[in-house]
């Protein structure tokens, strides 16, 4: 059942195990730019560096008091590059589309996303949220969303 989505900041001690499990999920790795499997220590260090960087935002998305995904936004110049992961056990329920549409409302400015050509789920999510594919290099599709 759809509920109100909440965005909260990652708390490494509380969230590390869950996020590492999501990050190392085979489908998540296949669709990511970096496909290697992470070990806990390396992933903890990566999360820590993201959270300490003022140009990066990282949110756990919760629906009905349950963690259902993660949204990351990296600011480069006047644009945010977005990436997202839907919890493996929550896929196929429209959560990715709902969470990206809410992220678009939360994050002011121009947005972009790089999506692997074979990642049909993320392509659909991006397009439903209003992103437009305007470039392809190799197997990467470049999506943008211009906001006022």
Tens digit of pLDDT at every position of the chain (148 positions): 677 899 998 888 889 999 999 999 999 888 888 888 988 899 999 999 999 999 999 999 999 989 999 999 999 988 999 999 999 999 999 999 999 999 999 998 899 999 999 999 999 999 999 999 999 999 999 999 998 7
Tell me how far apart the alpha carbons of residues 104 and 45 are, in angstroms, rounded to a whole number: 27
CA 30 from centre of chain: 14
Residue 40's pLDDT is 86
C-alpha 112 chain-centroid distance: 12
Residue 1: per-residue pLDDT: 64
Q: According to the model, what pLDDT value does residue 6 have?
A: 94
Q: Give the pTM.
A: 0.89
Contact call for residues 20 and 40 (beta carbons, < 8 A):
yes
């Amino acid at each position: 059942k759809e509920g109100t989505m909440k965005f909260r900041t990652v708390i490494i001690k509380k969230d590390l195990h869950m996020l590492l499990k999501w990050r190392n999920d085979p489908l998540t790795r296949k669709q990511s730019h970096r496909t290697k499997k992470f070990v806990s220590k390396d992933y903890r260090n990566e999360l820590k560096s993201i959270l300490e960087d003022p140009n990066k935002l990282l949110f756990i998305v919760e629906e009905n008091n349950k963690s259902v995904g993660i949204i990351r936004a990296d600011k480069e110049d006047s644009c945010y590059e977005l990436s997202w992961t839907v919890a493996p056990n929550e896929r196929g329920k429209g959560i990715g589309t709902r969470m990206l549409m809410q992220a678009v409302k939360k994050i002011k400015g121009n947005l972009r996303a790089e999506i692997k050509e074979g990642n049909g789920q993320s392509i659909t999510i991006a397009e439903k949220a209003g992103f437009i594919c305007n470039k392809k290099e190799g197997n990467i599709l470049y999506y943008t969303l211009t906001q006022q």
